[in-house]
Structure 1
Amino acid sequence: MEAIETSDESLRGQVEIWQHMFSFADSMALKCAVELRIADIINTQGGPITLSQLASSIGSPSPGISYLSRIMRLLVRKKIFAAYHDSNGNGETLYGLTHSSRWLLRDSELSLAPMILMENHPLLMAPWHCFSQCVKEGGIAFKIAHGKEIWDFALQNPEFNKLFNDGLACTSKIIARAIISGYKDGFSSINGSLVDVGGGTGELINEIVKSYPHIRGINFDLPHVVSTAPKFDGISHVDGDMFQAIPKADAAIMKFVLHDWSDEDCVKILSNCRNAIPEKTGKVLITEVIVKPDGNDLSDDTGLDFDLLMIAHSTGGKERTEVEWKKILEEAGFPRYNIINIPAIPFIIEAFPQ
């Protein structure tokens, strides 16, 4: 009979496997907090509140307080919420916000709540269960799970399309702030128009134009996406296919677009961008993750998670290292580029046609 190891290293290894096995519990508790608007309830009260106060505000005549207590216990452990002892001495725990839970406020201008609901929706979780089949047989995980690729699925399912667009729109607002603060001189030098390729409902280009009103904004995406876009001052919505042609502009920007596509597709999209901008003065701004497998920065682990997200939801896309980005840019006719750090997970890759 094989001896069972009892060393500290072995026990630590076992515990780590248990933690990874149940890591989905964290995201499900997070989703529950967003669905119940727990952060918003606490925020509305103006400070920490008791469990009974929280339960009475979730909109249910008979809330499961014991369930809520256990979910909050985990979220406090993960530092999503804070717990305090009641100063009145009655022994009750008070729950408050942290720097993390403020990103769950659904009524806040900057919130990750729509993205949490999107990424943890059963339709978007299903492709993750197809990874082993993808390894064995190839194919697209989303198509294996749902019979069609994500873009076609969104086209035929309005509710899913809204869920998807809302999730991307909230990240656009957050990243737009980071881009604007980290690329001030770059936008000042654009003396004309800027086209957001794959711009969704236009949140990113709107934030840029609000900060730099001398720029004429063009939001470019597929017809079914642009049709749901609100009107913004200084922004024109243009529908089309980025694989066919991109509207002429003085510069182009793409946020989390190229990671959805294969290297070959990226070269095609970038080549069309090159044809759309002036050869001597034009530039393309690519906001994407740069993978650093051995990196120690705060967001390096998240970059690797994003890469697996591309297996789950994209059409052959992936996150890339700097070497991989350089190769794609050169093949598309962009021999010169800069990498600019911004206060967000992605970087700005500033690419020039000469």
Structure 2
Amino acid sequence: MGEIDSINEEEIIMLQAQAQISKYMFAFVDSMAIKCAVELRIADTIHSYNGQKITLSQIATNIHSSSSPHMDYLFRLMRLLVRRKIFTASTSQDGDTLYGLTPISRWLLHDSELSVAPMFLLQTNPIIMSPWHWFSNCIKEGGIAFKKAHGCEIFEMASKDDELNNNFNNGMNSMTKCIMREVIKVYKDGFNSITSLVDVGGGIGAAMFEIVKAYPHIKGINFDLPHVVLRAQKFEGVDHVEGDMFEVIPHADAVFLKWVLHDWGDEDCVKILKNCRKAIPIKTGKVIIVDAVLKLEGEGLFDDVGFIMDLVMIVHTSGGKERTEDKWNKLLKEAGFPRYNIIEISAWPSIIVAYPQ
């Protein structure tokens, strides 16, 4: 019998707790290991062999470097990522270890239409990560962690730092493609009924492009700050318009808000929503919001992500938060939207359709 059999139940519970807290203590190592694999394009290398599993040497050969890759380090990286089920490992007839993709690593392919690789690089960017070290300070005395770390807010820094701006836009663009696939599939009847749509805070236009591509009868307006629109790609059927959503929003049959309101506190959200109300017809207009609806006891596939993102909002925004349905109800009524409908999709946000009448 092993040593663990000789200890009592309370000691077993404490040992299990110690093991669990140790995993949390070093959880950042998993993120950094995956980031390393993304930067080295390991998933892309394996994918380039047309479904075949490949050796460590084949992976190393495809790593662009001024010198030979450190094979022991690479082996140890892959060993952990196999354990985390990011990659598979099997033994060939020759005794070589062969590595393959899993459903998880397929989300890390750079050139895939649906990829979270750019968002992974954004969230693990040192500029984005350093504000987390100010989190406890924010709880003690308030304030914005990002500003405490960098002396300005995230959107201000992005407007001045081209590399961060590109990193931010590319990350949001990659997640937008993933989410919009679900939004368009579930809300198809809702898009059929409108002829013009303005995407407020639409970034470089990824969401509007997906909507107009699926519904070419819609005249799309991608609306964002000047430094963001400057990077937007030209899409047929989409006009890029620069401006400030706190001042005025272009007129359309409907307004689309994806991951915008969670960046702001209640007072700012009311201002944005009131401007949305002015931009749409009172009788037939609507605002289509794509944001999380927190379920306090939720055990769905993506429910945890909403609570994680809620803390991201504390660290990276000035008052941003994820909201329960009760909070959404209060916010929408205060902004002049007495009626709304929540539509769940297979992703961490939901669709909230708000009506001015």
- The TM-score bracket by the shorter chain reads over 0.9
Corresponding residue number in structure 1 for 2:242: 239
CA RMSD of aligned residues (A): 1.2
Q: Provide the residue aligned with 2:28 in structure 1.
A: 24
TM superposition shift of 1:138: 0.6
Corresponding position: 1:85 with 2:91: yes
Aligned 1:208-247 pairs, distance under 5 A: 208-247=211-250
Moved beyond 6 Å, runs of 4+ = none
What residue identity is the alignment partner of 2:316? H
Encode CA deviations 1:178-232: one digit per residue, 9 max, x unaligned. 1111111111111x21000000000000010000000000000001100110100
Alpha-carbon contact 1:311-1:317 (below 8 Å) kept:
yes
Q: Does 1:7 align with 2:26?
A: no
Deviation at 1:246, TM superposition (A): 0.4
Find the counterpart in structure 2 of residue 337 from structure 1: 340
The Cα offsets for residues 237-262 of structure 1, whole Å up to 9 and x where unpaired, read as 00000000100000011110000000
Higher mean alpha-carbon deviation, 99-108 vs 337-346, is at 337-346
Q: How does 1:262-273 map to 2 (within 5 A)?
A: 262-273=265-276
> In the alignment, does 2:133 pair up with 1:129?
yes
1: CA distance, partners of 2:99 / 2:270 = 50
Q: Which of 49, 53, 56 is residue 48 of structure 1 equivalent to?
A: 53
Q: Counterparts in 2 of 1:36-185, with a 5 A limit?
A: 36-46=40-50, 47-60=52-65, 61-86=67-92, 88=93, 90-185=94-189
- In 1, Cα distance between the equivalents of 2:70 and 2:186? 45
Identity %: 61
Q: Name the aligned partner's letter for residue 148 of structure 1.
A: C
Residues 136-163 of structure 1: CA deviation (Å, up to 9, x unaligned): 1110010000000111111111111111
The question of whether the paired residues in 2 share the 8 Å contact of 1:219 and 1:236 is answered with yes
Q: Distance in 1 between matches of 2:117 and 2:277?
A: 35
Q: CA deviation at 1:74?
A: 1.3
Normalising by structure 1, report the TM-score: 0.96
Which consecutive unaligned segments of at least 5 residues does structure 2 have?
1-7
Could you give the per-residue CA deviations for residues 246-301 of structure 1, whole angstroms, max 9, x where no partner exists?
Answer: 00000011110000000110111011001100001001110001112321111111
Q: Distance in 1 between matches of 2:47 and 2:314?
A: 37
Kindly indicate whether the alpha-carbon contact (under 8 Å) linking 1:182 and 1:343 is maintained by their aligned counterparts in 2. Answer: no
SS of the residue 2:257 aligns to? strand
Partners in 2 of 1:248 and 1:6 — Cα distance? 64
* Post-superposition CA distance 1:298-354 (Å, at most 9, x none): 111111111111112112101111111111011011111111111222100011111
**Whole-angstrom distance in 2 between the partners of 1:85 and 1:298:** 33
